[in-house]
């Protein structure tokens, strides 16, 4: 019998896009799937829309708002599939995405996970650009994480297809986390796997630039989550391989977060800087436009960054 794929969709205030997301699953050429949509306390009518779309292939669960990680865990608890597909309620799958990946995994030993090509779009998926990254190839778990953290690209959460056995070995989503919660979770998933099989034709569409999206959040809670997730993901990798290459990759990842977080959360920045020193230091330079780079060279990166933040706030008024 062909394997069953469970598509877990957490939903919070995604009324304008949810029907399209579900339609992209129902259009899959791989027909043995189930959808578990967890409405995480939406206030925009998403729950009612989901109930209207429910059917034999779509189970809708309603819960009080508890966060994306809790919604993912609720869906996992109900999942019957042999494979797990995580899909945000505003993103899309190409029609043959699941079939391409599952057929590739069936040719490999147990324990491999599949990745795929992904691209960003705002309104029209036809405008999505798929720009290859260094991680778009078959890699071991450690090689994938080192390559990614050194700047070789990320992987959109929906791009993965994960065998149930690997998901169980990785453990649950950490419900303390919000911002970059997938950094911790997918680090554990990769390290619980035997390898990553990249499927170039298995495409996903990542809707970006939405106001109020989780990835755009800069609240104190969001920064706390980002730093904790980075700490957890780093510990997972170093527990597998504590070597010069993994420590260097972890330091780069911490430094990148420091540049984003300064000057908003100075206490967390100091914590991150201590981690970079503990890992052996990092020479990654902060990015920015020509004016910013001139200020950085004259004043140092922190005063230049403060001036940059002040300027952005000033022009928003």
What is the distance between the alpha carbons of residues 316 and 296, in angstroms, rounded to a whole number? 23
Which of 158, 32, 154, 172 minimizes the C-alpha distance to 85?
158
pTM: 0.94
How confident is the model at residue 215, as a pLDDT?
A: 47
Q: What per-residue confidence (pLDDT) applies to 310?
A: 84
Which pLDDT score is estimated for 214? 46
Number of Cα atoms under 13 Å in the Cβ half of residue 44: 9
- Domain 1-90: which CATH class? alpha beta
| CB 163, CB 105: distance < 8 Å | yes
Question: What are the structure tokens assigned to 89, written together?
Answer: 């309620």
Q: What is the pLDDT of residues 268-282, one digit of tens each?
A: 999 999 999 999 999
**Which pLDDT does position 159 carry in this prediction?**
98
Burial class (CB in 10 A: 0-12, 13-18, 19+), 5: buried
Q: What is the DSSP letter of 193?
A: S
> Tokens for 159?
């791009």
Regions of the chain with pLDDT less than 70: 1, 210-217, 315-317
Domains of the chain, residue spans: 1-90
């Amino acid at each position: 019998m062909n394997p069953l794929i469970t598509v877990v969709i957490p939903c919070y205030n995604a009324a304008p896009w949810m029907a399209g997301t579900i339609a992209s699953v129902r259009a899959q050429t791989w027909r043995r799937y189930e959808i578990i949509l967890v409405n995480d306390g939406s206030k925009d009518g998403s729950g009612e829309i989901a109930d209207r779309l429910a059917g034999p292939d779509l189970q809708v669960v309603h819960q009080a708002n508890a966060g994306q990680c809790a919604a993912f865990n609720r869906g996992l608890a109900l999942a019957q599939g042999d494979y797990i597909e995580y899909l945000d309620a505003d993103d899309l799958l190409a029609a043959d995405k699941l079939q391409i990946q599952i057929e590739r995994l069936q040719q490999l030993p147990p324990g491999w996970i599949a990745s795929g090509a992904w691209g960003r779009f705002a309104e029209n998926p036809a405008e999505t650009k798929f720009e290859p990254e260094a991680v778009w190839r078959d890699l071991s778990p450690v090689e994938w994480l080192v390559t990614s953290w050194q700047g070789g690209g990320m992987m959109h959460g929906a791009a993965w297809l994960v065998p149930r056995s690997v998901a169980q070995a990785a453990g649950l989503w950490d419900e303390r986390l919000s911002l970059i919660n997938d950094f911790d979770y997918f680090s554990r998933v990769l390290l619980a796997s035997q390898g990553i099989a990249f499927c170039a034709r298995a495409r996903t569409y990542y809707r970006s630039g939405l106001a109020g999206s989780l990835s755009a959040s800069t609240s104190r809670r969001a920064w706390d989550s980002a730093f904790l997730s980075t700490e957890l993901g780093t510990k997972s990798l170093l527990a597998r391989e504590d070597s010069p290459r993994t420590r260097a990759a972890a330091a780069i990842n911490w430094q990148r977060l420091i540049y984003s977080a300064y000057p908003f959360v100075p206490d967390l920045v100091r914590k991150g800087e201590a981690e970079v020193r503990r890992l052996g230091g990092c020479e990654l330079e902060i990015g920015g436009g020509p004016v910013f780079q001139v200020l950085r060279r004259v004043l140092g990166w922190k005063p230049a960054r403060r001036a940059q933040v002040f300027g952005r706030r000033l022009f928003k008024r």
